[in-house]
């Protein structure tokens, strides 16, 4: 397999990737601060990866709303810094892990051709970054945007919505798919990796062995919260969430 660099992340996907890609480069934010273009350029030029999987992001609606400059620097400028270094150092593949949250909730399910309609600043920065990734695609640097639904387990909150729906998978499936696709020579510009059926956040949390209380949108005061972020794919296969192998540590 090619020499792979995976940008820093947290939670279960990060752990799953370290298991699926044991020989990959995993620079910490101290070793490669993606908001520092010179540091990114130096690290990539010294380590010479063939492919980059970009996981790093400031995620979470409240965090990004409170820290808009930080969100922009990490999610937008950071992505651009890595892409520039990849282009200038003969990296052949760049895979961008994208959230399904770039869509509104009115027209679900969303396929690879659906138009983004972000409602919050986090989603806005990710939508902008996606356009930047597209703009760097060339004969020498192939870029891919991989949109998906997953989150860290156990569920990080005391409650979970019964009336918000996603085509969730667990992180292990996402990591395994990344490995399959990084080896594939027939890249699409955008791909959706998603479960074959939509489930509520509450059902997802309980499938992940989390003990949570039920809640619904009437219990939440944040404006413009999405109701249905389900994805479908026209370019890849779908997976059963029950096969996501949550307990595979």
pLDDT tens-digit readout, 208-244:
889 999 999 888 876 667 789 899 999 888 888 876 5
Q: Are 9 and 152 in contact (CB under 8 A)?
A: no
- Kindly state the tokens that stand for 28: 């910490």
**How many residues make up the chain in this entry?**
249
Annotation: CATH topology of 4-243: Rossmann fold (3.40.50)
pTM: 0.91
- Helix (H) or strand (E) holding 98, with range, is strand 93-99
Angle at 150 between CA 156 and CA 57, to 5 degrees: 80
- DSSP label at residue 179: H
Domain boundaries, the chain: 4-243
* Integer Cα distance of 247 and 100 in angstroms: 24
pLDDT tens-digit readout, 41-87:
999 999 999 999 999 999 888 899 999 999 999 999 999 999 999 99
Give just the sign of the alpha carbon dihedral 184, 141, 47, 14. Answer: negative
């Amino acid at each position: 397999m090619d020499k792979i660099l995976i940008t820093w992340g947290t939670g279960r996907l990060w752990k799953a990737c370290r298991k699926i890609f044991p020989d990959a480069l995993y620079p910490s934010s101290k070793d490669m601060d993606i908001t520092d273009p010179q540091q990114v350029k130096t690290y990539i030029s010294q380590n010479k990866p063939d492919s980059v999987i970009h996981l790093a992001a400031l995620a979470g609606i409240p965090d990004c709303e409170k820290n808009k400059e930080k969100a922009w620097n990490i999610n937008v400028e950071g992505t651009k810094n890595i892409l520039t270094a990849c282009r200038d150092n003969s990296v052949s593949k760049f895979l961008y892990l994208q959230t399904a949250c770039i869509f509104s909730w009115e027209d679900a399910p969303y396929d690879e051709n659906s138009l983004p309609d972000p409602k919050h600043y986090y989603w806005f920065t990710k939508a902008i970054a996606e356009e930047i990734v597209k703009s760097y695609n060339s004969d020498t640097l192939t870029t891919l945007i991989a949109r998906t639904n997953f989150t860290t387990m156990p569920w990080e909150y005391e409650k979970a919505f019964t009336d918000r729906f996603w085509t969730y998978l667990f992180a292990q499936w996402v990591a395994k798919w990344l490995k399959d696709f990084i080896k594939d020579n027939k890249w699409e510009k955008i791909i959706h990796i998603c479960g074959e059926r939509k489930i509520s956040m509450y059902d997802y949390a309980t499938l992940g062995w989390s003990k949570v209380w039920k809640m619904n949108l009437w219990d939440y005061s944040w404006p413009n919260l999405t109701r249905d972020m389900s994805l479908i794919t026209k370019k890849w296969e779908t997976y059963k969430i029950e096969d996501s192998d949550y307990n595979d540590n």
